[in-house]
Structure 1
Amino acid sequence: MKKNYRRCISCRRVAPKEEFLRVVRTHPSRTVKLNQGMGRSAYICPCENCLKTAQHKNRLGRALKAQIPEEIYEQLWEKVAQVSTPQPSTSAR
């Protein structure tokens, strides 16, 4: 795998890490956070299908070897909703 590329835990797509949402089990407190801290990380595509599959099959929990709080899934769904809604165009004509 190329440098700074990661793999989605749901669909297994490989892409630059900036294209994914990052979930972290921090060290040493073992708390799970969204895109904060150092520790064991898992990456997931910002699309509904990947998140739905990951939540249904507990792929985040298995990848991080920790229980995933419901608040993390709520935050992930909010991020997916932000990405999927079209952004207003600011181009001047």
Structure 2
Amino acid sequence: MPSNFRRCVVCRKLAPKQAFWRVVRDFSSHQVQLDIGMGRSAYLCPTTDCLQIAQRKDRLGRALKAKVPESIYGALWERLAPDSGSDLAQKTSG
């Protein structure tokens, strides 16, 4: 695999790592967080389809070998559509 390329855990698309969202399970605290920290990482395309499938099928949880809190998914939905707050509640609940 070329350097600095990563693969989406949902659609398996290969792209530069800057094209993805990074979710990481921190090495020392084992907390799942966005973007920062060293530890086991999973990459996700910033698209509605990939985010819906990742949440429904727990793709991030399986890749990170940890439970992903709903707050992480909520933050990702906010990043996807920061100006559509009314749609956020519907997407995270279902």
TM bucket, shorter chain: 0.7 to 0.9
Q: Does 1:36 align with 2:19?
A: no
Measure, in 2, the Cα distance between the counterparts of 1:38 and 1:80.
Answer: 24
Aligned-partner residue type, residue 53 of structure 2: T
Cα shift at 1:5: 0.1
Measure, in 1, the Cα distance between the counterparts of 2:40 and 2:65.
Answer: 9
How large is the Cα RMSD of the aligned pairs? 0.7
Measure, in 1, the Cα distance between the counterparts of 2:57 and 2:37.
Answer: 25
Higher helix proportion (structure 1 or 2): 2
Cα shift at 1:33: 0.3
The residue that corresponds to 2:10 in the other structure is 10
Cα shift at 1:81: 1.4
Aligned-partner residue type, residue 28 of structure 1: S
The residue that corresponds to 1:53 in the other structure is 53
Specify every segment of 5 or more residues in structure 2 that has no aligned partner in the other structure, as ranges. 83-94
Percentage identity across paired residues of the two chains: 59
Q: TM-score with structure 2 length normalisation?
A: 0.85
Q: TM-score with structure 1 length normalisation?
A: 0.86
Measure, in 2, the Cα distance between the counterparts of 1:44 and 1:80.
Answer: 12
Measure, in 2, the Cα distance between the counterparts of 1:31 and 1:49.
Answer: 25
The residue that corresponds to 1:85 in the other structure is none
Higher Cα radius of gyration: 1
Aligned-partner residue type, residue 30 of structure 1: H
Specify every segment of 5 or more residues in structure 1 that has no aligned partner in the other structure, as ranges. 83-93
Stretches (4+) displaced over 6 A: none
Cα shift at 1:28: 1.5
Measure, in 2, the Cα distance between the counterparts of 1:21 and 1:74.
Answer: 13
